[in-house]
Chains A and B, each alone.
Chain A
Amino acid sequence: MLAVQILIDGFAISALYALGALGFTLIFGVSGVLNLAHGAILVTSAMVAWYVGTDSGGGAFTGAAAGVAAGVVTAFVTYGLVVRPIQRSKAIPGVERELFVLTGTLLWGVMIQILLADVFTTTPITVEQLVSGTIDIFGVRTAANEVFIAVVSWAVLGLLWLLVNRTPAGRRLLAASINPRALTLVGVELDHVHLLAWGIYGVIAGIAGVLLGSFLGTSSAYIPALTGTAFAIVVLGGLGSVSGTVIAAYVVGYLETLTAYLVSPSWRAVPALILLLAVLYFRPQGILGRR
């Protein structure tokens, strides 16, 4: 019985982590950007979803749609206002560009965090579930919303795979992540590829934020931890590898769940952090990393 509980709870959490980390790895793979404002985009989506859906009475579905839209908008603003100017700035020496993008997105994330705290306060809120009720799975009473989240998570993964491998636009994305210069030689506007990447990132982050908000709740105070977890999972899986990210998400999700059930809920986050440190020391490229 306990084993089944762990299996199910772990699966739901892992699916959520995978969704949350997916956008992060995508944008790194294509643009080479480690977006430290990632958590801020997730929470913004959730907050907007709650505001439209619950606070203004729009209903769960309208709220969710608004949340995803907010994710896209925030992603584009992040790109246009922070990332692209730094990437193009002549005042920054090429070697330090990456560092500046990191610091810039970090500051931008802080700004969003404070703004959200000012508008919504730091009280955690929960986005209304899109699916309610409970389902009995092998004798374990599970919230239907958790099942829904797992389904959506895998659907998004599947769609992304289809996009990247079966559509021309997607293949350009893939190519851009491997060799951007070659792509320009073939006449592709890199700018358009980047815009597409950030747009997809916004959609994924928006969905992740809304679902996260419905299961775990959300608050501006969660932003640093969310970015940290996404970052950790992506590095664990291998920077730039989508399958690596998914595998790592499940490793972390189950590690946390096992700890919470078998050791103590207080120690939940610790083993994953230690695993991350170990991987960084002994196999820094992660599970499936290429670089």
Chain B
Amino acid sequence: MKKQLIIAALVLVVVGLVPLTSVSDYITGVLTMVCFYAVFAMSWDLLFGYAGEVNFGPSFLIGVGAYGAGLADADLGLPVAVCIAIGTLAAVLAGLLLAIPALRLRGPYFGLITLVAVLLLQDMIEIFADTTGGEIGLSVPDVLAVSAAVNFYYAFGLMVIAGAILLAVANSPFGLILQAAGQDPVEAQALGFNIVKFKVVAFAISAFFSGLAGAMLVFYLGTASVSAMVDVAVGIQVIIAAVLGGRRTIIGPVLGAAFLVGAGELLRPVGQMSGFIVAALALGVILLVPDGLLGALRGRLRA
């Protein structure tokens, strides 16, 4: 484990230094998106890999965070940091509102509720288009920075901090109990743990980082839009990233996000079939290497 952390730290340092070299702004931009998607995927992994709950609507949390921050800026003109805080808070509150009743349920019901939440959010945004901009999106007057490198460091910083916290949570006693709740809920309850409470806390943490990343994403792109933040397709990308990278590892999803965004850019000439290829790869991983890239790597290291 320690060896893996050292390797991870080294990789991070290298990546962190990339924008300072003469590499183009475009590459820096791609790395920035990797960081955002890494945070989305890591947050998702806490729920899926550890708590054993499939969240089909990570884009609900991302969207609430994004639009919360975007509306605060466009309508209220508050400073960027305050807007981001508002967006994050909104995501956590909305997430809890959704999760607390839903996590009491067994089976696929939780997943369904998350999916319905995304659809509802999308409908609401389009119905109240006068405020939210509808399908055209909401332009925000401020951006975090115009320089590609500065934007990258914001996202990179977020990713490192979020990753560290999520990793710490996952490996803490809390994380262990969470895993137990996910893998063997009957046993865990028999041992006296209130598994619902643990899952709710996990969901809140997931909502916090998803919402925060969503809010920051708005000030990176300059717009809040359904297609970039709320659409079911965004959620599917997050799921693909986490599954490809390796569930129940926290770090794996980072690899998955890098692969996802990188492959998307490299496969650009193929047009929309790039999505097909990525989805097919993810399906292949599920069928043949369910532990994902990192899981497979770790297996090989151990053997």
Contact = CB atoms under 8 A, between A and B. Distances in A.
Contacts of A291: 107
Interface string A50-92: 0000000000000000000000000000000010011001011
Contacts of A106: 56, 236, 239
B54 A270 contact: no
A107 B286 contact: yes
A89 B291 CA distance: 12
B282 A107 contact: yes
Contacts of A284: 105, 109
A100 B105 contact: no
B127 A266 contact: yes
B39 to A, nearest CB: 20
A276 interface: yes
A111 B290 contact: no
Contacts of B102: 280-281
A280 B286 contact: no
Contacts of A102: 54, 108, 111
A280 B120 CA distance: 15
B108 A114 contact: no
A55 to B, nearest CB: 21
Size class of A's contact patch?
35 or more
Given A85-B287, A104-B283, A280-B116, 16 more contacts: A34-B108, A91-B290, A91-B291, A92-B290, A95-B52, A98-B107, A100-B290, A110-B279, A118-B272, A224-B232, A225-B119, A228-B115, A273-B123, A274-B120, A280-B101, A280-B105
Interface of A: 34, 82, 85-86, 89, 91-93, 95-96, 98-100, 102-104, 106-108, 110-111, 114-115, 117-118, 224-225, 228, 231-232, 235, 266-267, 269-270, 273-274, 276-277, 280-281, 284, 291
Interface of B: 48, 52, 54, 56, 101-102, 105, 107-109, 111-113, 115-116, 119-120, 123, 127, 182-184, 232-233, 236, 239-240, 243, 271-273, 275-276, 279-280, 282-283, 286-287, 289-291
